[in-house]
Amino acid sequence: MSTDNRSQQQQEEPWSSENSAFPVIPPDSTMRNSLQSPSVSSSSLSSSITSASSAALDVSSIRGNISDQAKRRVMDMLAYYTGAKEESFGVEIARRLQMRSMNVWAASPGNMTARMSRRATEAQTIFDITVTKDMCNPYGTLHGACACYIVDPCSMSAIVVLGAALGVDATGVSQSMNLIWHRPAKIGTKLRAVSTSIFIEGRIRTARVEIMDAETDRLYVSAIHSTIGPKPESEGRVAKL
């Protein structure tokens, strides 16, 4: 079963906030409406960048078992990190990323500990983007650096979704990124980036990303991205020049 199929099957059940940390972003009734409108085009980062406020951002085309409020928060975060200004690096590519879904799940029964029981332990986000000329190398295939750029915000989205479910700030800056290029993605290929959280504890956050063909599931790039959160002010002095 593909990762995308898993999200489609599980997203119909909204995440329960009972006895968990999830009341930070509880599911609401509008989630059902979004699931009944699959033909609506997915929300892109450009919608979040150009929106006047978070409340005005239309996320009805983004599937998943978290609330519309939570989806807007994640989209606003992505808009900030990918750059709201025209001169920001890669902003034109970032604006073409289309969010398809956001989901959180509890650990599987065989891997659930008493400490984490009934709490979200995994988050997944899915983005689509089509390979265009400005994303390619001289051979007409997805440039390696562009693949890295796609991994960055996509992986962060899964980390932030899980952090919100657990009631913690999961934002941070990159610590390491390991990519494997399995095969070239030619210009015109519609890509699907499936990002899944792996670890959030203390200041360390990690997620994996698989960039595949949206139609055939052929894997092009896989990656592991680790980030580190800001140090609390109580843990040390602010550096001075």
pLDDT given at position 74: 84
Q: pLDDT by residue (tens digit) across 129-178? A: 999 999 999 999 999 999 999 999 999 999 999 888 888 888 888 999 99
Q: Count Cα atoms within 13 angstroms, Cβ side, for 148.
A: 10
> What are 53-75's pLDDT values in tens digits?
455 678 889 999 988 888 888 88
Closest CA to 218 of 194, 183, 171: 183
- Give the integer Cα–Cα distance in Å for 13 and 77: 25
Distance of CA 134 to the CA centre of its chain: 23
Q: Looking at the whole model, is its pTM more than 0.95?
A: no
For 143, the token pair is 């440039």
Q: How far apart are CA 41 and CA 34, in angstroms?
A: 11
Q: Are 21 and 169 in contact (CB under 8 A)?
A: no
Residue 50 has pLDDT above 70, yes or no: no
How confident is the model over 89-136, as pLDDT tens digits? Answer: 888 888 899 999 999 987 655 444 434 444 568 999 999 999 999 999
Looking at the chain, how many residues does it have? 241
Residue 41: pLDDT over 70: no
184 vs 6, higher pLDDT: 184
Tens-place pLDDT, residues 225-238? 999 988 776 555 55
93 phi/psi in degrees, rounded to 5: -75, -40
